[in-house]
Amino acid sequence: MWAVAPAESEFLSYVKRISDVRPVVSGSGTYRRNIYTSIGEKDPANRFIVGFVEGEGDNWTSFPPHKHDGKPEV
């Protein structure tokens, strides 16, 4: 198990394949990055946001700082 958080509601288990995840390009210049959200706001989950970010070269991938309304990010 990678991560856990208390649930407020029950959802059925499901599989989301990497082939179903499409990147969103965000930022510009040295802050440009591809964001892949595996479990996002519209998916059946109580508290998690799951994804990964690909930056270009040695550039920053998490600037400016951000939050997800109290949801843990994995």
The number of domains in the chain is 1
Give the integer Cα–Cα distance in Å for 38 and 9: 20
Residue 35 domain boundaries: 18-55
Q: Is residue 10 part of a domain?
A: no
Question: Does some domain include residue 23?
Answer: yes
With tokens 């109290």, the residue in question is 70
Give every CB contact of residue 32 below 8 A, 6+ residues apart in sequence.
Answer: 25, 26, 55, 56, 59
Q: Is 34 part of a structural domain of the chain? A: yes
User: Tens digit of pLDDT per residue, the chain (74 long)?
Assistant: 566 777 788 888 888 888 989 999 988 888 888 889 988 888 888 777 788 888 887 777 766 666 666 666 66
> Is 45 part of a structural domain of the chain?
yes
Determine contact, residues 47/72, Cβ cutoff 8 Å.
yes
